[in-house]
Structure formats: structure tokens, C-alpha cells
Structure 1
Amino acid sequence: MHKSKQIIVIVLVVALMGVLLAQPIKGLIKQDKAEQAEQQATNNASNAEVNLASVSIVAKQGLDASLVKQIADIEQALPGSTGTDRLTLLKKLAGHWDDVAKPAPLGFSYEEIANLDPTYENWLKAGDAFTAAYENLQDTVVAPALTQHAQKAYQKALDLNSKSLDAKTGLGTAIVNGGGAPMQGIAVLMEVVKEDPKNLKANMNLGMFSMRSRQFDKAVDRFKTVLEIKPSAEAWFYLATSYENIGLKAEAIKSFQESKKIAADPSLSQFIDRKVDELSK
């Protein structure tokens, strides 16, 4: 993982802990100025309709001027386009948003692509982009709208490929995060792990949802499974926090240290050092 992406991941991990456990942890690792500006702009635009145009305005902030012009030129050409020409423009637009890792406009771009070319792959890409978007913007009021779009996209993908565990995992996760019927979403994820016990995404999300409901013993089992599949700083961090909440301090310390070792990020290291110091007393 490249360092810039690694730092973003760690910021999201700590931010998610604040949501999961209702604790003010997010501020422990500061966002850079570009992230803060994007977050504030998203909140400021929250009263407007959430669509490709509105999220594009936010996503363009801080981008290179030449890239902004390329994106704007495509957007200006879209209203008068139809058929194959429109599809080509949308794919170019999606490529730009993908290159700069802006999942909200990427999701809407793929949603438009899938409406014109309704394949399983296009709907899955839309769902995955919307998922990344609502996870990145979880503490803004636009997140619920993005979650609804994710649900729709994954359901469309499942309609085209009912055996897709990727689409089913995305749908279950979006249903839980949507807040309307969390147990329905959990049931969908349980179907996934029943068919594929080592499914990385399903186990990761079930672990996070176990933390949210403060079932930390269940969370421990899920994150241990995740780590057997693919060790990551996030999974070690969540496992450590789960151990901490059930009073297993030695295990928590070890897991925090493993998270620090993999991430190799100064901000996270400082946070973990404080946690280890607290747990060692």
C-alpha cells in the first residue's frame, strides 16, 4: 500500500472507531487540509440534492486546474449526448474520478453507465464506489443518500447475477449502514459467510457491526478470521479494540503493536503508544 493511501486508511480506521463506539477518537489523527476542506464543502452542500452534479462540485476542490477543465468539458457535453456517445463520455468521466480516488462522483458516473449499459460488472462498480463514498463521508448528511444508491446498485447487480457474493456482501453492508433494517443486512452477510466462511469483506463488516452492538467477543472471532485471510493494520486495530473492551489487556497490547508495525504511520504510532501506555498501567 502506498504511503498516502495508507495514511487515509488509518484516518478512516480511527474515524470509524468513533462511530462504532460513540467515542471522540476521530480527532486523534488529524485530516490534512484537503480532506478537511472536502468534508466541510460536503456538509455545506448537504441541503442540495445529492447527485452527480452536486458531488462533482465538492470533488473538484483542490484538483489540478487542467484536470478540472477536462472534467468540466465532459460534464458540459453530457446533456446533449445520447447512446454510444454518452456512454463514451461517462466512461471518460469515470476514469478521471477513479484516477483521483473520488468515489462519490465515480459512483454516480458508473450508475449512469449502468443505466445505459446494465451489466452486472457496471452495477457492481457503482455499488463499490458508493460504498467507498459513504464510508469516507460517514459523518456527513449526504452519507444516507449514498448508502441508498449503493443498495440500489448492488440489488441491480444481484438481479443480474444472483450468485455474486461480492454484490450480496455489498448489499448486506449497505442495508446495515442504512439503519432501516439492520438485522436484514446482517442476515444477508451471514448467508455469505455460510457459503464462504473465509469471505474477507463479509467477515470484516460482521466484525465491525459486532463492535457497534458491543458484542466484542463475536467481533474478536471475526477479526481473527480476517487476519488469517489477509493481515492489515485496520483488522489488527479493530481486534485490539475488541480485546480492550472485554478486558484482555495483554492481547489488546499485542494487537495494537501489530497494527502499528504494519501501518508504519507516525500519527497512528503515537495514538497506539498512548493506548499501550494506558493498558500497561
Structure 2
Amino acid sequence: MLKSIRSKQIIVTAAIVLLVAFLFSRDIKGLVKPKEETSNVPAGGQMMSEAAEQQISLTEVSTIGKNMINAGLAAEITSLENAYNKAADKDKVAAAKLLAQKWDDLEQSVPSALYLEIVAKESQLLPNWLKAGEMFLKAFDNSRDSLMQPALLQRANIAYSNALKIDSTNLDAKTGMGISIVNGMGAPMQGIAMLLDVVKKDPKNLKANMSLGTFAIKSGQFDKAITRFIDIIAIKPSPDAYFYLATAYENLGKNAEAIDAYVKSKDLAANPTLSKFIDSKVLELKNKI
């Protein structure tokens, strides 16, 4: 019995690790990480102190980001940064928006999020807080830095909190807040309740549904996960939804259903790395039927 449970846990972890790695290359957001990759995120109910906000240095992340791109693009970023630093107060927001967009275009979500936060703080407008929160969640999803992850998650939480202060009924803000809570900024069930409330008001909300589905897999509630991902696929089929559906089926021993879902994930993704994994997975499952 214990061996069976451990095997299922290995299947979940391995599947999510591979899918997250694949999805990072495709810029799909809002996914739950494997347990071993979230061990340094605050436990349920453990809110980060305000000092954590100081853990992210814009200068440092900019330097790191520029080291990851070619010299021409790095020079362009430096030019935009110089323009931002020299800009009059009335022009700071526009300059920060340009930098946020440029960093996002270069798939560097941490500096992009920090500049979007600057824009939101200056403007105090709902759309800008939502954009900042979304980018911080993207940065949290993409980061492998265990020291930076909690700070990114906290910044996302703060951004969505500010959005809700402006409009307490906004579903995008509630969804983002719920995702940040589920991932560590408070008691997970508080976040789940918030996401369920969003889905009740907007049944086709993909982001909220996806977070609920991945949390169900992470917590071993595979029947619930299957129902959730079938609903998601009915709204909008995607490789990640099919992959998670396949993972849930596999953990319940429904190998034929798992094979069908894996193949559909492969066909939609058209990604060589994922295809190779799925081909071996399908072969393995066929041998069990």
C-alpha cells in the first residue's frame, strides 16, 4: 500500500516537473509547482514581513537580465534605464512602462514586474495593479531562485491586495489573490475558497479553474482534478490541461484515458521535448493495459 502511494507521488512530481519546464518555455502562467520546488515558500498562514520587499534589487535583476541577452539588446535596455533615471517626475511612469514592456518582450519577468509595480504605485489605477500582480506571479512561476520566490509571491499578493482596495468585486484581482494565497501567502483553503467564489461567479474563468485543478493534483484529489480539467478543456483545450488530465487519470490507474489525454497534449503542444516524454509514457502505459 505504502509502495503504491509513493509511486503515485513520484508520478505526480515527475509529471509536474516536466510539464512546468515545458510550459516555462511557452509562457503559460499560474501553475502550481512541485512540492520540492515550493518548500521555501512561506507555509500556510505564514505571511512574509515587509522586509522581504527589499530582497529584490532592481539594479541587480537588471544586471542579471542583461547578462542573459545579447549585447545590442542589453545596450538598448541601458539606454532606456538612463532615460528613466533622467526623466522628470511627470515622465517617470511612461519611461517605466517602456522598460516593463521591453523586459517582458525579452522574457525577463522579474524586472518587468518591478517596473510595472512602479507604474502602479505612481498611478494607483486598478489595471496597473492587476498587470503588476500578473507579472509578479509569472516571475514567481518562472523563478528557480528559492530566496527570490517568497518575495515575488509577496509582491504579487500586495499588488492584488491594492487592486481589491480599489474594487473589491474585481474577479481578476480575486483570482490573483487566491493563487498567491494557495501558493503560500496564507492558509491554502482561504485561497481555494476565493478561487471557488470566482468560478461560481464566472464558471469559464480559465485562470481560476486551472489553479483549482493543479491544486487538486498537488493534494492528491485526482477525481476532482479530472472533473476540473474536463471542464477546462470544454472551455478551451490546451496542452497543459490535457497533460494534467492525463496525470490525474494515470494516478487513478485509468491508463487508457491517460494515454488519450497525453496524446492530445502532445498534438496540441508540438514540442519535441514533451513529445519524447509522452511517447515513452504512452508506451509504458500501454504495457500496463
Does the alignment reach a TM-score above 0.5? yes
Take 1:107 and 1:17, find their aligned partners in 2: how far apart are those partners?
18
Q: Which has the larger displacement, 73-82 or 129-138?
A: 73-82
1:229 maps to: 235
The TM-score, its normalising length taken from structure 2, stands at: 0.79
Take 2:31 and 2:172, find their aligned partners in 1: how far apart are those partners?
24
Matched, 1:265 2:271: yes
Matches within 5 A, 1:25-174: 49-79=55-85, 81-138=87-144, 140-174=146-180
1:218 maps to: 224
Q: Which has the larger displacement, 227-236 or 80-89?
A: 80-89
1:91, distance to aligned residue in structure 2 (A): 1.6
The 3 A distance-change label for structure 1 pair 151 and 18 is closer
Matched, 1:9 2:15: no
Q: Cα deviations across residues 30-87 of structure 1 (Å, max 9, x unaligned)?
A: xxxxxxxxxxxxxxxxxx9213222222222232322212222333454554521222
SS at match of 1:101: coil
The 3 A distance-change label for structure 1 pair 158 and 109 is same
Q: Cα deviations across residues 233-272 of structure 1 (Å, max 9, x unaligned)?
A: 0000000000001111110010000001111111111100
SS at match of 2:224: helix
What letter matches 2:223 in structure 1? D
1:142, distance to aligned residue in structure 2 (A): 1.0
SS at match of 2:102: helix
Take 1:52 and 1:68, find their aligned partners in 2: how far apart are those partners?
15
Take 1:216 and 1:139, find their aligned partners in 2: how far apart are those partners?
29
1:130, distance to aligned residue in structure 2 (A): 0.6
2:203 maps to: 197
What letter matches 1:103 in structure 2? S
1:143, distance to aligned residue in structure 2 (A): 1.1
The 3 A distance-change label for structure 1 pair 12 and 179 is farther
The 3 A distance-change label for structure 1 pair 167 and 92 is same
The 3 A distance-change label for structure 1 pair 98 and 268 is same
Take 2:36 and 2:248, find their aligned partners in 1: how far apart are those partners?
14
Take 2:219 and 2:84, find their aligned partners in 1: how far apart are those partners?
45
- Gap regions ≥5 residues in structure 1: 1-6, 24-47
- 8 A contact 1:103–1:133 mirrored in 2: yes
The 3 A distance-change label for structure 1 pair 105 and 79 is same
1:29 maps to: none
RMSD: 2.4
Aligned pairs, how many?
Answer: 249
Structure 1 residue ranges, 4+ long, deviating more than 6 angstroms after superposition: none
1:103, distance to aligned residue in structure 2 (A): 1.2
Matched, 1:20 2:34: yes
What letter matches 1:91 in structure 2? K
Take 1:131 and 1:17, find their aligned partners in 2: how far apart are those partners?
9
Take 1:18 and 1:126, find their aligned partners in 2: how far apart are those partners?
19
- 8 A contact 2:153–2:180 mirrored in 1: yes
2:182 maps to: 176
Q: Identical aligned pairs, as a percentage? A: 46
The TM-score, its normalising length taken from structure 1, stands at: 0.81
Take 1:90 and 1:200, find their aligned partners in 2: how far apart are those partners?
30
- Gap regions ≥5 residues in structure 2: 1-20, 38-53
**Structure with larger RCO (C-alpha < 8 A, sep 6+):** 2
Take 1:158 and 1:255, find their aligned partners in 2: how far apart are those partners?
37
